[in-house]
Amino acid sequence: MAKTVVADIIVPEIFERYIIERTAEQARFGESGVIESDPEFAGLAAGGGQTVKMPFWKDLTGDRQILHGTNPLDVNKITTGQDIARIQNDANAWSVNLLARLLSGEDPMGAIATLVGAYWARQDEGILISSIKGVLAALDLEGGDPNYLKIASETVAGQGVTTRLNGTTFIDALLKLGDAADRLQAIGMHSATEGALRKLDLIDFLPDSEGKASIATFQGRRVIVDDTLAPRAGTTDGLVYTSVLFGPGAFAKGSANLSALNLQGGFGSEGVEFARVALNSDDVMINRRRFILHPRGVKFNSATVAGDSPTNPELETANNWTRVYEAKNVRLVGILHNN
């Protein structure tokens, strides 16, 4: 006897594509252009293995040569570098009990389907922030502080105008990229930092072209408020904050289409699977992902990764990252400051 199951109502392939699109739409870093969907990365994520290697040509160097009647030109060469991204594999599962559905008079599974895109957007932002922490820690170890402005005082007594984020120190952060500073078009910060800048009348609001809520800007750069950029305690007392300037496409993302992989049994696909635990009257939805979310120009060398995919604490580990692009071509600058 034929019967209608959840998988008939929610078509897995369409649903997975919807989740991917909703995740991109609801990610604040995606909206601002910091995360760029890249078809090449989607193709790489669909391949095998745990890492993908991305070779690139380094820029030409050396001074021009003056032609001479008898002396030959010196012959130079072009060299290559290699960026490496780690493929992420994660999942989550949600269950709905029949009795809960009957008593509530609502459709819990429908609510889960509506909310899952925003859930994954938050997870992606957690991955992005953890990656930034690891990248900045790695850059700090390089010496000379490339892509990193550290002005914070580790004690309340030492805090002042020069240790806080303001118009002047912002310019100092931009100058970390020198003549490439115009590439930095957004800044991520904690809500307390945004509040401190508001009190200084340094936050402007621009109308959105699509009629949505107005867009906050600081010194002409779009503001992304995210409390995942949580402050740490100063060495002596007080708080130390990290704000981050981004260029467009600082992070690239690509997702494999797991709905193309059929299950050996059950309903749905490897991307979106539905199951029924009959004796418990439970419906279960499992959502799996395989994707790349990677800061361009800083390779993940997997120095200390215990499992098949790096955890957020492992992404925050400095020795897992190595800068491979020139500093000006890494599209982020960290600012360590007080409020």
Q: Tens of pLDDT along the chain (339 residues)?
A: 344 444 444 555 666 666 666 666 666 787 788 998 889 999 999 988 899 888 888 888 889 998 988 899 999 988 888 889 999 999 999 888 877 677 666 677 777 877 888 888 889 999 999 999 999 999 888 776 789 999 999 999 999 999 999 999 999 999 999 999 999 999 999 999 999 999 999 999 887 665 566 889 999 999 999 998 999 999 999 999 999 999 999 999 999 988 877 777 778 888 888 888 888 888 888 899 999 999 999 999 999 999 999 999 999 999 999 999 998 999 999 999 999
The whole-angstrom separation of Cα 337 and Cα 240 is 6
Give the three-class secondary structure for 269. strand
Task: Give the torsion through C-alpha atoms of 327, 332, 337, 339, to 10 deg.
Answer: 160
pLDDT of amino acid 181: 93
pTM of the model as a whole: 0.83
> What CATH number is attached to the domain comprising 245?
3.90.1690
Which of helix, strand or coil describes residue 310?
coil
Range of the domain at 99: 6-57+79-337
pLDDT at 304: 92
Q: Is residue 186 part of a domain?
A: yes
**Domain contains 134:** yes
How many whole angstroms separate alpha carbon 252 and alpha carbon 178?
A: 23
> For residue 31, what are its two tokens?
């909206």
Tell me how far apart the alpha carbons of residues 279 and 185 are, in angstroms, rounded to a whole number. 55
- Tell me which amino acid residue 145 is: D
Residue 163 makes CB contacts below 8 A (sequence gap 6+) with 151, 152, 153, 337, 338
Strands 272-277 vs 282-295: parallel, antiparallel or unpaired: antiparallel
| Total count of domains within the chain | 1
Give the amino acid at 30.
G
Quote the pLDDT of residue 259. Answer: 81
The answer as to whether 210 is a domain residue is yes
pLDDT of residue 277: 84
> Which H helix or E strand runs over 41?
helix 39-45
Q: Is residue 70 part of a domain?
A: no
State how far the Cα of 157 lies from the Cα of 266, in Å rounded to an integer.
63
The verdict on residue 19 lying in a domain is: yes
Q: Is 206 left (phi over 0), alpha (psi -120 to 50) or beta?
A: beta
H-helix or E-strand containing 17?
helix 12-26
- Identify the pLDDT of residue 6: 47
- Rounded to an integer, what distance in angstroms lies between the CA atom of residue 135 and that of residue 330? 10
Helix H or strand E encompassing 92: strand 88-97
pLDDT at 121: 87
72 occurs within a structural domain: no
In a domain, 68, yes or no: no
Q: For residue 281, tell me if it sits in a domain.
A: yes
